[in-house]
Structure 1
Amino acid sequence: MQEKWPEGLPVAQVRIARPTDKLPEVERFYCQGLGLRKLGGFENHKGYDGIMLGLPGFPYHLEFTQHPHGSPCPAPSKDNLLVLYVPDAQRINRVAERLAHMGYPEVEPENQYWKDKGATTIEDPDGWRLVLMPTAGIG
């Protein structure tokens, strides 16, 4: 039985946002490398440039912003992860190979759980980690 969304929190969309000092590289990594789509963007909105990435028709988005006087943007730790669950290892391998060819090879995860479950960990241009987890490894 699938639970309904809580009535006290009527969320229509989820967007995860973070700054970057490398907006063009981040866009290339997540769009050309991973396969997300650029859903929108903006330039010089109160000094900020940004892009929204995701999959058309789905209410889950990533937003990346850049400001010339913004805070430094290194990743806080090797365990700050964006985990995407992918149906099969073959698809994960294709994405990982494409990213490696672009200069983003697989890295050793901080938490061995991910490797033990067959996941692939890759650092984006800012050092934030993306985990591609096979759905067969859920549990």
Structure 2
Amino acid sequence: MMSKTVKWLLGGIAVCVVLYFVMSFFAVSWLSYFSTPPAIKTLGDKELIQKIKKEYNVQEIERTPAYEREIKQDTATYTLYLYSKDFCGISADSVQKKSMKIVQEIDKIKLDPKFYKYQLVFCCKLYNPNGVSFQYVRK
């Protein structure tokens, strides 16, 4: 008789522990889902980004800012980090014409009016944003 009571007690404790972890998982999932800031929807047309990659031999392009909360002021800068091994040891003069053409392409994107300036950074190493930089005022 005692063993039956112990089995029920241990079973009840096991169920409570499992329910605790399930509820914790749902609480954390729910909080993380609703606390994630909204992403900026018009960061660039994917076809245009692919065209820039192909035309200028760029391996990867990063864009910032990514979230609406990062646009803190009335004005913001739209930054493109262009990564390619071709940009190792380049001078500003050699990529200035490329940057101007890329900015003309970016002007076709319907960006948020808060973006008043473009910045292009030509980088040699992936995820190392040091390189030749150009800034242009948006038209």
- The TM-score with structure 2 as length reference comes to 0.29
Higher strand share: 1
Higher helix share: 2
- The TM-score with structure 1 as length reference comes to 0.29
Q: Which has the larger radius of gyration?
A: 2
